[in-house]
Structure 1
Amino acid sequence: MAMIAMGSALGTGLFLGSGAAIGIAGPAVIVCFALGSAIAATIALSMGEMASRYPVRGGFGTLAARFLSPYWGYLTRWLYWFVTICVTGAELVACATYLTYWAPGVPLWAGIVLFAAIIVGINLASVGSFGVIEFWLSSIKVVAVLVFILIGAFLVFVGLPSSPAPGLTHLTGDGGFLPNGAASIWIAMSVVMFSFGGIELLSITAAEAKDPGTAIRTAARTTIIRLAFFYVLAVGLVVALLPWQQASGAGEDVTASPFVLVFDRIGIPGAASLTNIIVLIAALSAANANLYAGSRMLHSLSADAMAPAFLHRLSPRHVPVRGIAMSTAGIVLAAVLAFTGAGGVFGYMMSLVVFSVLLVWALILISYISYWRGRDGQETFRLPGGVATAVAGLVGVVGVFATIAVVRDLQLAALVGVPVVLLVTVLYVVVVRHRIDPAATDAAFAEAAEAEAEAAAVR
């Protein structure tokens, strides 16, 4: 479960999106990732407490329906499905572009189709097979980041004959630690938070775990510790090894990863190609995990009469095939845009994800605050600080969302995101509201709580 969440969170946001964040904040991007880790920890742990007590199908969306209202549960799940299809498409754009590092003649759309076939095939396998494959894909990324941190630390403080150790001089050179002013930390958060998208998968996978109470506690803690460690150290080493203007060279058009640039500029033979393989696997793993999440979200919506009934049907291997097919919408969009030659697609899709996922995170934290007031005292795992910590996390999410006032890409994303919210709201009022059975939600919660209580007694 931790590796599935890592599969989504430890992807293009770190290996590629960090370049854009470095371009905004310079070396102070380290502070941005530290703040982002704190906000993400609050979300993951609050969600972990709720999901370990109530491991219901639909995860945080079903929790929002119970502790806020059916409408908010409906909106949360549809928003998150929208997030997953956009992330899946964006990650495959990155995969296809990484492929051009070795085969520049391969069209971007052809690379997208190739990698789409791979992840669709993985998702059509059984849940167990998916979990095993995603575990190994995520493990490759985790090991690669650890190796990068070790090699990076050696290069920073020891160096090579062909590349003397820079120490920490790049952190304060070229305009200082804050070359673009203190406000740049706030603005860069609009890019940085894309990196943490995927932590929500912890609650979605809880319903399919053998022992969700134990699994969700362990997964929530380990995921947050790993992400904070990897992001802050890895990005810190990038800006320590290269002047921040060079490290930010990735840009919105997804032309290179800052991690590949490090080894390209330092000149270690073969290291840049190996790193490019790793970032390609990272993007593929994230796309794979998000396709999984999107299909499960549609399945839960259908089960609760919030989506067409045909999406509830499972294959003989217990896989929501129709949900997977519907969730390839982002892949199709990415391939069409690539085929038509549209530019800057990745940067725009990333902003669209940030706009939507911030709304989802806010609703998760608000759900927790409501849950906390009526909790039954049987929790085996608790968010340190309780509601006060959740409120602090909510303030952080709102603060990041406020960057919409100055970030043009987020403003453009709002032009799509706001109509989407209005559309699903209208559909809820006209169609869905009359189908919802609150008693079914209550029964699902009672069943989940009883199952968890029995599992706790066994433990």
Structure 2
Amino acid sequence: MAAPERPAQAPTSSQAPASPPPPASPVGAHGEPVKDTGLVRSLTHRQTTMIGLGSALGTGLFLGSGSAISAAGPAVIISYAIGAVLVAVIAVLLGEMSAAHPVQGSFGAIAHRYLGPWAGFVTRWTYWFSAVVVIGTEVVASALYIRWWWPGVPMSAAILAIATLVLAVNIINVKAFGTTEFWLSAIKVTALGAFILCAAFLVFFGLPDHEATGFAHLTDDGGFVPHGPKSVWIAMSVVMFAYAGFEVVAIASAEATDPQRSIRTAMRQLAWRLSVFYVLAITLVVALIPWQSLAAGDGSVEASPFVRVFSDIGVPAAATLTNLVVLVAAVSAANAHLYGASRLLHSLGDDGLAPAPLARLTSRGVPANALAASTLGIAAAALLAFYDVAGIFGILMSIALFAVLLVWLLILASYVAFRRHRDAHPEEFTGFSIPGGSRLALVAGAGVLAVAATAIEVPDMRQAAGVGLTFTVVLLGCYALTVFRRSRRT
């Protein structure tokens, strides 16, 4: 029997799904010994938690918030609060599943077990696609932050510099990635906490040459909901992108030293930390700067609303520091998403659902080929930037969001099937369980569908839906072809 610390491997798509195995089982779904995947369990509990924050606290908050404020005005606070609740539910449900099955392939392998091989195939490939796009988005944002200081730097050169840095961190080994991501995340979490304290001081007390703003800006310029209640829903098309990325914690469980403990606490901490950080930060930003002023920069994202908070009140040094922090945030998010994308692509190759070279590991346990393939988003972003395609950020963000919404739906569907099996066979499972989890999954699923429905009103989301649905159809076709070719061999 294999050692207990080895992650259970999902069966390949040529095998019919059988009844799910006990959690963290040392054998596969059909009782076969699990082969050594080569991944190294060296991520500590603290690193796993910070990886989740690193992937979620990025461009969506620091740069994309300008578009959300433009869409809903001060009422964007409601959009972020709703998003926080929705993501908290998905996070804790995913945490329950991942703690029970800390396997290579994470939620993709779990979807394979509980929904069928097609679901595992689509989930992993779709998440890889969304992560690759997010990597490109974060790198573009990093380049924009650099150009805030040096406008003369070519966009393509700035993108290349950031891409080289991120790839170098990931190619060494997982321990180097975990250490780097821990400190990058710690910097931006600390800085965001400091920003919240400083902004709150300006709101309530002000400075000698700058009066306290209070919360008058929340109701000036057309009231709290200047564009009507519908705008709260429309803004969700931007807001939810800010929360995407917490899933990397589940992916990291296959390389965590104590996966059950790490997943259980990391997901719970992520749920409340993201809620506090996002809602408080956006509330203070809108309280300090009139929302119409923040929205005026929509379409020209050369500066983050967080940077403008300080530059508009005449504190240029603080604005420079804030721009440095949001640059670190974007690099950190790109770093974490590249890790997550490469691990899912490696698991697909290991299961025979992607080209075999993608399953190869270096002597340090790094899937170098999968890493290289996952940089396609950076290459695409650089190409778009080279040809000066207008609205690069908005296009990439919408495509990534639509893909991740589909992944969330599959995660929630997997949870319903997982919970049904867990309730029927409680003796197979240990660890925490979410009361009323199945009902929460259905409510969260309705919320995800409501966000996807913004494609009716938002042109970028409509374009993203076309790309996303086409990609999904192609994936299903590829899966059918894979099954057909395997059946011909047998």
| C-alpha distance 224-409 of structure 1, shift in aligned 2 (>3 A) | same
Please state if 1:361 is matched with 2:361: no
Partner of residue 172, structure 1 = 219
Residues 59-138 of structure 1 correspond to what in structure 2 (within 5 A)?
59-138=106-185
Match of 1:324 in 2: 371
The one of 406, 412, 427 aligned to 2:463: 412
Indicate the SS of the match to 1:383.
coil
Instruction: Map 1:421-436 to 2 at 5 A.
Output: 421-432=472-483, 435=486
Cα separation, partners in 2 of 1:127 and 1:435, compared to 1, 3 Å: farther
SS of the residue 2:148 aligns to: coil
Gaps of 5+ in 2: 1-47
Question: Against the structure 1 CA distance between its residues 250 and 77, is the aligned structure 2 distance closer, same or farther, given a 3 Å change threshold?
Answer: farther
Greater relative CO (CA pairs within 8 A, separation 6+): 1
1:69 shift after superposition: 0.9
2:241 is equivalent to residue 190 of structure 1: no
Letter in 2 for 1:22: I
Q: What are the within-5 Å matches in structure 2 for residues 150-299 of structure 1?
A: 150-299=197-346
Q: Give the CA RMSD over aligned residues.
A: 1.1
| Residue matched to 2:31 | none
* 1:166 to partner: Cα distance: 1.1
Higher mean C-alpha deviation, range 379-388 or range 269-278: 379-388
Secondary structure in structure 2 of the residue aligned to 1:164: coil
CA distance in structure 2 between the aligned counterparts of 1:249 and 1:147, rounded to whole angstroms: 26
Distance 1:266 1:186 in 2: 31
TM-score (norm 1): 0.93
Q: Shift in Å at residue 434 of structure 1?
A: 5.3
Residues 433, 224 of structure 1: CA spacing in aligned structure 2 closer, same or farther, 3 A cutoff?
farther
Distance in 2, Cα, partners of 1:215 & 1:412? 38
Give the secondary-structure state (helix, strand or coil) at the position aligned to 2:104. coil
Distance 2:128 2:300 in 1: 25
User: Which of 94, 111, 114 is residue 47 of structure 1 equivalent to?
Assistant: 94
Deviations 1:68-104 (A, max 9, x none): 0100110010000001110000111111111111111
Quote the Cα distance in structure 2 between the aligned partners of 1:317 and 1:245.
Answer: 51
> What is the distance in 2 between the residues matched to 1:252 and 1:317?
43
* Deviations 1:228-258 (CA, angstroms, capped at 9, x unpaired): 0000000000000011111224424422100
The alpha-carbon deviation at position 173 of structure 1 amounts to 1.1
Tell me the TM-score normalized by structure 2.
Answer: 0.87
Distance, in Å, in 2 between the alignment partners of 1:432 and 1:327 is 25
- 3-state secondary structure, aligned to 2:192: helix
Residues in 1 aligned to 2:189 and 2:61: alpha-carbon distance in whole angstroms: 12
Q: Does the residue aligned with 1:210 lie in a helix, a strand or coil?
A: coil
* Contact 1:27–1:177 (CA under 8 A) maintained in structure 2: yes
Q: Which residue of 2 aligns with 1:443?
A: none
Aligned residue among 430, 440, 459 for 1:389 = 440
Q: 1:379: Cα distance to partner?
A: 3.4
- Deviation for aligned residue 1:320: 0.3
Cα deviation per residue 1:151-176 (whole Å; 9 max; x = unaligned)?
Answer: 01000000012210111101111111
Equivalent-residue separation in structure 1 for 2:148 and 2:59 (angstroms): 16
- Where 2:255 maps in the other structure, the secondary structure is coil
Change in CA separation of 1:73 and 1:433 when aligned onto 2, cut-off 3 Å = farther
2:350 to 303, 320, 332: 303
From the two aligned structures, give the one with the greater helix fraction: 1
Cα distance in 1 for residues equivalent to 2:183 and 2:377? 25
Q: 2:486 and 2:441 mapped to 1: Cα distance?
A: 32
Query: Residues 182-229 of structure 1, C-alpha deviation per residue, up to 9 Å, x if partnerless?
Result: 000000001100001101112111111111111100100111111000
CA distance 1:380–1:434, shift in 2 (3 Å): farther
* Structure 1 residue ranges without an equivalent (≥5): 437-459
> In 2, are the aligned partners of 1:253 and 1:346 still within 8 Å (CA)?
no
- How many residue pairs match? The answer is 436
What do the CA deviations read for 1:99-138 (whole angstroms, capped 9, x no partner)? 1111111000100000000000000011011000000001
**C-alpha distance 65-388 of structure 1, shift in aligned 2 (>3 A):** same
Compared CA separation, residues 113 and 274, structure 1 to 2 (3 A): same
Identity in percent:
52
CA contact (8 A) 1:250 1:257 kept: no
Greater CA drift, 180-189 or 340-349: 340-349
Q: Cα distance 1:433–1:11, how it changes in 2: closer, same or farther (>3 A)?
A: farther
Q: CA deviation at 1:435?
A: 4.5
Judging changes above 3 Å, is the alpha-carbon distance between structure 1 residues 66 and 239 closer, same or farther for their aligned structure 2 residues?
Answer: same
Closer, same or farther in 2 for the Cα pair 1:160/1:306, shift >3 Å?
Answer: same
Q: Using the alignment, how far apart are the partners of 1:431 and 1:386 within structure 2?
A: 34
In 2, Cα distance between equivalents of 1:303 and 1:287: 24
Matched letter for residue 381 of structure 1: F
Question: Structure 1 residues 45 and 434, CA, compared in 2 at 3 Å: closer, same or farther?
Answer: farther
